[in-house]
């Protein structure tokens, strides 16, 4: 079997790391598209997780989604024609995933989709378009939960569906053991909230981003905010960056590596985020932190149902009130992650070896 793994963003690197290591260099090659072309958001994670250097780096130059997708397809098609893998493996719902899926389909190469079946039912999210499309293009669909399988079954996808758990739990089980040693971050703040913010429907909308920022500042709780490059750009553009700098309760940091983020998740009281991946990570028994989701919907309902996460919306007063309330009691009752035992990658590898 020869698999070609195509990835381009931080979450893809982290979630595919256990599979890349499990397959080994003889059975897989890696293509890094550079969708997150900022070093902090891309290659840094490949180096930190001690993954082999990608066999191909596309160095995508476009930031516009349409142009980005077309550029990936154009460059990837030449590689697929040369390598002729048994399957192309992708993870999640990024532009890289959609582009790789279209290119693989037209190259008559079966697609294997890790983390299939997630749905937010929110068409404002570009990721929703991508994940629906890739699920209907794929031959093997690795669903993290039964809920994801139900979504796929109801849509009558043509590929084989396998419930495996989520590989993010595998990654945490491996890397949390060494994160303290590898991390370079030092926090002198007690009882702090960890904040991440990056989704386009939030940060690209001035009204929404202004509301979120006001809610965070008005909470008066100590918040550590590692800023995604996209978010920083919008904060400056919307004249909100200085408001955060002047606030007495928010500490701004540059975007961080994986080990630093793991340590912050361990040390914080709870997390405020619009990230889907962090909603999953926080359920790990090795982290186990409450998550407040600054979105109208979520594609991780399992975290909500387990009581580990709560959707708080985008209203500034609700955000402020929710942060204050949770700080008084950030405890969560559930001790079991809904995303598996940390053996998802082993299950996926067995299915791949059997199928190809």
Give the residue numbers marked as catalytic.
Answer: 198
Residues 349, 97: Cα–Cα separation, whole Å: 19
Q: Is the dihedral of CA 284, 290, 294, 296 positive or negative?
A: positive
User: What do you get for the CA distance between the two ends of the chain, in Å?
Assistant: 6
- Determine whether 218 is exposed, middle or buried from the number of CB atoms within 10 Å of its CB (0-12, 13-18, 19+): middle
- Determine whether 257 is exposed, middle or buried from the number of CB atoms within 10 Å of its CB (0-12, 13-18, 19+): buried
Quick one: which of 216, 230, 240, 192 has its CA closest to 63? 230
Neighbouring C-beta atoms of residue 184, cutoff 10 Å: 9
Task: Return the residue matching tokens 């009691």.
Answer: 329
Residues 319, 322: Cα–Cα separation, whole Å: 5
């Amino acid at each position: 079997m020869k698999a070609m793994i195509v990835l381009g963003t931080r979450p893809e690197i982290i979630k595919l790391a256990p599979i890349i290591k499990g397959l080994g260099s003889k059975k897989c090659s890696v293509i890094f598209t550079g969708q997150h072309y900022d070093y902090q958001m891309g290659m840094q994670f490949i180096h930190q997780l001690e993954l082999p250097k990608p066999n191909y780096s596309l160095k995508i130059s476009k930031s516009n989604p349409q142009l980005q997708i077309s550029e990936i397809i154009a460059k990837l098609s030449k590689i697929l024609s040369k390598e002729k893998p048994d399957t192309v493996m992708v993870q999640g719902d990024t532009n890289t995933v959609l582009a790789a899926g279209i290119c693989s389909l037209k190259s008559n190469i079966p697609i294997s989709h890790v983390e299939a079946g997630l749905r937010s039912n929110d068409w404002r999210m570009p990721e929703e378009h991508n994940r629906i499309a890739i699920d209907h293009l794929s031959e093997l669909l690795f669903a993290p939960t039964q809920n994801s399988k139900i979504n796929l079954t109801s849509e009558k996808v043509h590929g084989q569906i396998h419930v495996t758990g989520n590989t993010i739990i595998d990654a945490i089980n491996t890397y949390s053991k060494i994160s303290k040693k590898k991390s370079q971050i030092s926090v002198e703040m007690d009882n702090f909230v960890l904040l991440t913010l990056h989704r386009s429907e939030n940060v690209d909308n001035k009204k929404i981003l202004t509301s979120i920022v006001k809610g965070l500042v008005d909470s008066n709780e100590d918040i550590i905010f590692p800023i995604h490059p996209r978010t920083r750009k919008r904060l400056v553009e919307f004249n909100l960056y200085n408001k955060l700098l002047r606030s007495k309760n928010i500490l701004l940091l540059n975007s961080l590596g994986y080990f630093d983020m793991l340590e912050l998740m361990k040390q914080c009281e709870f997390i405020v985020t619009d990230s889907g991946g962090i909603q999953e990570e926080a359920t790990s028994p090795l982290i186990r932190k409450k998550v407040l989701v600054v979105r109208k919907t979520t594609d991780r309902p399992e975290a909500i149902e387990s009581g580990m996460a709560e959707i708080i919306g985008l209203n500034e007063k609700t955000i402020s009130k929710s942060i204050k309330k949770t700080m008084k009691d950030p405890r969560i009752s559930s001790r079991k992650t809904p995303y598996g035992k940390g053996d998802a990658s082993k299950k996926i590898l067995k299915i791949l070896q059997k199928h190809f």
